[in-house]
Amino acid sequence: MRYDFCIVGGGIVGIATSREILRRRPGSSVLLLEKESRLAAHQTGHNSGVIHAGVYYTPGSLKARLCRLGNEETKQFCTEHGIPVKVCGKLIVATNELEVARLGELRERCRVNEIAVDELDGGDLSKLEPHIAGSAALRVPSTGIVDYRQVGEALAAETSASGGSIRFGGHVVGIIERADEVELKLSNGESIHCTRLIVCAGLQSDRLARLAGLDVDFRVIPFRGEYFRLPDQKSTIVKHLIYPVPNPDLPFLGVHLTLMIGGFVTVGPNAVLGFAREGYPRFSFNFRDSADSLLFPGFRRLVRKHWRSAIKELRGSLFKADYLKECRKYCPELTLEDLRPHPAGIRAQVVLADGTLVHDFMFSETKRMVHVINAPSPAATASMPIARAIVERTFDEVGKGGRLNSGAAGVRFQPSGD
């Protein structure tokens, strides 16, 4: 069969992109292809459900700009579709003098990113959150929580209502770009032809890019984010999301307390190497996924840079008491018995050959294809603005093969010889 547009990947970015195409080009034939039996099966369905404000992101980055837009759009979309959403706010808590100083730097970043925050001293913090210990805090009122699976389902319903097709079980094993079309070969022997292809493959983005013949000088490294759930009697222990002050020397944010839209509280995540890109149970192992990570020079360089952090995260994964220490840093009343099992998530983290973690969104494109290479958090929050950026490239910039990166003015196109 032939379509005007084919989108590979039924996570929230792929679904939002399908919807955006049909909003821009009503009547187009659009196919959303998902290899699983349901939408939002991976990162979208295994995240913390936070509607981020964009506090931590580098000013001028694509992340910062699209997150700010997505924060309001996600809330508005949920209101229009009757999806439960709670704007509970976030507290970024400093527990020592060094963190208080870093909190000041973070406040300045919020000012540049045009994010409203309130400054709190220890007394203010105690009044707001009596179970939380800290010397100072920033309150970010615009942060909220939602179930992104419900958001994805509502986006998919709009796609279907506008004439788009959604197909499950479509495992892509070949991508051939020609002068006037792209052909997808599926594992069942079928071929699908389209005029434009958009790949939103998440944990498989590097493999789909390689299938398409792109220059893949990176790998998707899966990092498991392991969570615990607090018992029901502690579901009101906090009224805000409680986040740490980030350490700029560490690659990941650290453990935090998260209110969930279901009415309970989770603590986490840590960040440990996953040995299966889509293996959510503890100790999941896939030989190909493990080899892809361990044999990649960029991963080994990453470990050399951050081996102390890696050991700390691994200890927290293996020993619950070590994990508890991170939680008690700002919630001292928690006990080992409070840490109940909760499903893990897996972050698709792009790592370059020199060991650099790619923190911003990254796209690669050719004449007839756009590949979403890296879409880390806050991709769920920013899914609709990301979809607009993708579709604008698909409609307006076809033929300028290269890689999209971020710049102070928004999306910047950089030729890469693809």
A 10 A CB-CB count for 332 gives 10
Q: Supply the mean pLDDT for the chain.
A: 91
Q: For 16-31, write each residue's pLDDT tens digit.
A: 999 999 999 999 999 9
Residue 397 has pLDDT above 60, yes or no: no
**pLDDT reading at 151 higher than 80:** yes
Computed from CA positions of residues 204, 210, 212, 215, in that sequence, does the dihedral angle turn out positive or negative? Answer: positive
Return the pLDDT at 132.
Answer: 96
Strands 410-414 and 402-407: antiparallel
415 has pLDDT over 90: no
Tell me the average pLDDT across 81-110: 95
Sheet with strand 265-268: strands edge to edge: 118-121, 136-140, 90-94, 241-244, 256-259, 265-268, 228-229, 340-341
Give residue 396's pLDDT band: very low, low, confident or very high (50, 70, 90): low
- pLDDT of 403 > 60? The answer is no
Encoding tokens for residue 179?
């002068």
Question: pLDDT band at residue 249, thresholds of 50, 70 and 90?
Answer: confident
Tell me the mean pLDDT in the region 213-236. Answer: 95
User: Quick one: pLDDT band at residue 398, thresholds 50, 70, 90?
Assistant: very low
| Residue 410 pLDDT | 31
Three-state secondary structure call for residue 389? helix
Q: Percent of the chain, pLDDT > 70?
A: 94
How many angstroms from the chain centroid is the CA of residue 112? 23
The 10s digit of each residue's pLDDT in 161-170 is: 999 999 999 8
CA dist 248 → 286, 322, 346, 357 (Å): 32, 22, 22, 13
- In this model, does residue 76 exceed pLDDT 60? yes
> Which residues have C-beta within 8 Å of that of residue 326, sequence separation ≥ 6?
254, 255, 270, 316
Question: Which positions ≥6 away from 409 have C-beta within 8 Å?
Answer: none
Average pLDDT on 185-190 reads 95
Average pLDDT for 234-252? 88
| Distance from C-alpha of 260 to C-alpha of 66, rounded to nearest angstrom | 23
Please state the rounded mean pLDDT for residues 101-122: 93
pLDDT digits (tens, 9 = 90+) for 325-369: 989 988 999 999 999 999 999 999 999 999 999 988 999 989 999
Q: Extract the runs of DSSP E, i.e. beta strands, from 148-276.
A: 165-168, 172-177, 182-186, 191-199, 218-225, 228-229, 241-244, 256-259, 265-268, 272-273
Question: Residue 251 — very low, low, confident or very high, per pLDDT cuts 50/70/90?
Answer: low
Question: What is d(CA 199, CA 181) in angstroms, rounded to the nearest whole number?
Answer: 15
**Confidence class for position 252, pLDDT limits 50, 70, 90:** confident
Which helix (H) or strand (E) segment is 153 a member of? helix 148-161
* 8-17, 216-225, 340-349, 387-396: segment of lowest average pLDDT: 387-396
Q: In this predicted structure, what is the pLDDT of residue 407?
A: 32
Number of alpha carbons in the 13 Å side-chain half-sphere of residue 81: 20
Model pLDDT, residue 243: 94
Confidence of residue 4 (pLDDT cuts 50, 70, 90): very high
Question: Is residue 136 within 8 Å of residue 94, measured between CB atoms?
Answer: yes
With tokens 């959510």, the residue in question is 280
The pTM (predicted TM-score) of the whole model is 0.92
133-150: average pLDDT: 97
Mean pLDDT across the stretch 173-196?
A: 96
pLDDT, tens digit, 9 for 90 and up, residues 52-61: 999 988 888 8
Determine the Cα angle at 267 with ends 76 and 108, to 5°.
60
